[in-house]
A and B are shown apart, each in its own frame.
Chain A
Amino acid sequence: MEYLDYLENKSIYVIRESYARFKNMALLWSMGKDSTTLLHLCMKAFMGKIPFPVIHIDTGFKFPEMYEFRDRTARRLGLDLIVAENRLAKYRGMGPNKAGASKLECCNALKTESLQQIVAKLKIQSLLVGIRRDEHGIRAKERYFSARDESFKWNYTDQTAEPWDYYRSLERDGTHFRVHPILHMTEADIWRYISREKLEVIDLYFAKGGKRYRSIGCAPCCEPVESSASTIYEIILEIESSKTAERAGRAQDKEDAYTMQKLRSLGYM
C-alpha cells in the first residue's frame, strides 16, 4: 500500500468510528492546512457530503484571507458551517492588545470559552480536531480518542494505550471526546497529502519576499518564518532538510562515531 493511502485509511477509519459511536459530532475547522486536510478527509469518509456541523471559532482577529477562504470553501462544499464567538468578551473589548490582559487570557476568552459555549449549546459528544503528534511535545501524549472532563481538562496520565487500532471511546456523562484523526501525520505528510489531493490552501503558507507562515491563526499573534519556499514541493524539501540539519550537527557526528565503534566491537559493520 502507498504510504499516503495508509495514512488516509487510518484517518478515515477514526472519523467513521467516531461518527458511529457518538450522536452529536462536529468538526473544528480553523482554515489552516491541518484542519483543511481533515475537512477533506471527512468529505472522503462520507462520500462528498459531511453529515455534521463544521465549527469555526472566530476570534475576530484572523487574517482577511482566512475569512474569504472560509466562506468560499463552505459554499463550494455545502458545509453546515457554524461560526462561534464569545460575544460578551468581544463586547468587553478583549483582544491581543487589550491593556492588562495577557495573550493567554485573550486565547482563553476568545477561543476556549467560545468553544465551551458551542459544545454545551449543541450538546456535542465528540469533536474532530486536526492536531498532529509531531507538533509539540505535549501533543505526543495525545490519543486518537481523548476524553475531556466537565471543565474541559485533559488528564493525560489517565489514558489507555491504543495498540492495534483498539480505541477506548466509551462516553461518560458531562464529558466529551476530542477525536484526532490526523494524529499520526507529520508536517511533511500533510504537505505531501495536500499535493497529491490537489487541495487548496491559503496563500499565506507560500513565501513572499523571503518569508512565509508555517502556521496560521490570529494575525496579531503569528510570525512568519524566513523561507524561500514558494511551492508545496519546496516546502516539503525545506521541512525535510531542516530536519536533517538539526541532526547533522557536530554533536550528532560524535554520537554516530561512538555508536559505530560500539557496534564494531560486537562484530557488526
Chain B
Amino acid sequence: MPTTLIGLDGVPYGLITSYAEKGYLPNIASLIARGEIVQMESTIPDVSSTAWSSVITGANPGEHGVFGFFDIDRQTGRLCFPQFSDIHVSPFWEGKKAAAINIPQTYPARIENGLMVSGFVSPTVEKAVSPAGWLEKVRELDYRIDVDSSLAQESMEKFLDDLYAVLDSRMRLFRETRDAEKWDIYYFVFTGTDRINHFLFDAWDDESSEYHKPFVDYYRKVDECVGEILSTLKPEEKIYIHSDHGFCPLEKEFYVNRWLVEKGYLEFATDSPALITDMSPSSKAFSLDPGRIYINAKDRFPNGSVGTGDREKIKAEITEKIMRLESDSVCPVARVADGCEVFWGPVSSRGPDLVFLGRRGIDIKSLVAVDGLFGKRIFRGMHTQDDAFLIAGQKENLPSPFHVSRIASLVV
C-alpha cells in the first residue's frame, strides 16, 4: 500500500496536541480526528542524527552506528562526521520506489530506486541529490536545504524571514516531486520546526512573549503546508506524521566537559581549548554532544590512556559523582544511561560508555571554551528524549508510548 510520511523535526507531543486543540493547526487536527495520535520516545541520545537513523532503519544506534552528529575517529583521533554511507543498516524503503526528501543524516544522498534529497547537515547540493539527474531541477527551484541559523545571532527577524524562505523553497520541491513518479513511499520532512524551537521555544505557550505570535504563526504556516500535502493523498494511501524527539524550554546549559576537568578526568593540552580534540592524552574521559561520555580507553582511541581493567571502574566513579552534583538543590542530570544497556548490535562498542540525560530545562553541552559549569547563550529550547509524537491518519490502535525505531515496521 502506498504510504506518505511527513516528518516534523523536533515537534513535541505536548505542543501538537495543545495547538491542535486551540485551532492553530486545523489540517493536523482533522487528521488526528480521522486517525489517532500517540506520544513517542526517541533514541538515547536524543539528537536528530541518531533518532532519524533509527527511524529509517528500524535499528538501535548499536546496529546503525550513528551516535551523534560527530565522533572522534578511532584511527586518527580527529573529529569526524558520520555520513549516510556509514550507516550499517539499509533504510526501510530499499526495494520500493521511494522519495526521501530532507531527512536529516542522509548526506551524501544515495537511493537505488527513486529520489533522495538529503537533509541537515548537507555541505553541498551536488552530493545531496540522488539520482544526479534531478540536480539541475533542484537547482532551478532555488531549493534551500536548511535555514541559516547563524542569522539568529544577528537578528531574530532575519532568522524568521529566512525560515519562511526555506519553507517556500521546500514546498516548491514538494510540488515538483509529488507526482513525478508513482511512489510506494513518499517521505517529506520539515526541519524549520526544530530550528525555531531551538531559538524561541520559551515563547510557545507564553502569550506575554514578543515572539509568541511569530512562533505560532510559523506553526500555522507549517500546518498549511501539511494541508497541501494531505490534499494530494490518494484514497488508498496510508499517512503518518511524526517527530523525532521532543522539546522543552531551556533554563540553562550544563557544560559537562568543564565538570570532567574539575573532577580531574579531563585535561587540555592548551590554555584556551577550542575543541574537544585539544585534550591531552592523559585524559581519562571526555564528552561529545549530547551528553555522551567516553572513557579515553587505550584500546579505543589513538591517544587513549585508560587500560581495559580500569574502564568499568571509571564509569562507576563518574556515575556516582555526577549524581551527587547539585545546582539550586537539584542534580542537573536526571538519568545516567549505561552504554552496555542501551546500545545493542554489532557496532555498539563504538558508542559512548555513558549517556547523561539532562533534567527538564537543563541542556547538557560538550562545549569546551567555557568558564563555569553552567551558562546560558541564545538558545531557548532543548531536546527531550520523551514527548515526540506520531499521528496515524487511519485507526491502527498504536501502543503508547511508541518508539521512533518502530516507525519502519508500520511501513514495511
Contact = CB atoms under 8 A, between A and B. Distances in A.
A161 B94 contact: yes
Interface footprint category on B:
35 or more
Nearest to A168: B95
Contacts of A244: 75-76
A174 B268 CA distance: 67
A123 interface: no
Interface in A218-266: 240, 244, 254-256, 258-263, 265-266
Contacts of A256: 79-81, 123
Interface string B246-269: 000000010000000000000000
Contacts of B124: 255
A159 interface: yes
B96 interface: yes
A91 interface: no
A259 B81 contact: yes
A263 B70 contact: yes
Contact of B149 (A7, A161, A259, A262): A262
A263 B69 CA distance: 8
Is chain B's interface secondary structure helix, strand, loop, or mixed overall? loop
Interface in A1-38: 1, 3, 6-7
Contacts of B150: 261, 265
A259 B112 contact: no
Interface in B280-320: 289-290
Nearest to A3: B346
B69 to A, nearest CB: 5
A6 B88 CA distance: 13
Contacts of B97: 157
Nearest to A7: B346
Interface residues of A, number: 31
B123 to A, nearest CB: 4
Contact of A268 (B89, B94, B152, B289): B289
Given A240-B75, A269-B275, A262 B366 contact: no
Given A157-B113, A163-B412, A269 B58 contact: no
Nearest to B253: A267
A159 B95 contact: yes
B346 A266 contact: no
B265 to A, nearest CB: 19
Contacts of B253: 267
B164 interface: no
A97 interface: no
Given A163-B408, A262-B146, A267-B365, A255 B58 contact: no
15 contacts: A3-B346, A159-B95, A161-B92, A161-B93, A163-B58, A258-B123, A259-B81, A259-B123, A260-B70, A260-B79, A262-B120, A262-B149, A265-B149, A267-B198, A269-B366
Interface of B: 57-58, 69-70, 75-76, 79-81, 89-90, 92-97, 112-113, 120-121, 123-124, 146, 148-150, 152-153, 195, 198, 253, 275-276, 289-290, 346-347, 349, 363, 365-367, 377, 379, 408, 412
Given A143-B95, A240-B75, 17 more contacts: A3-B346, A156-B112, A161-B92, A161-B96, A161-B412, A254-B123, A256-B79, A260-B79, A262-B146, A265-B153, A266-B198, A267-B253, A268-B69, A268-B70, A268-B290, A268-B366, A269-B366
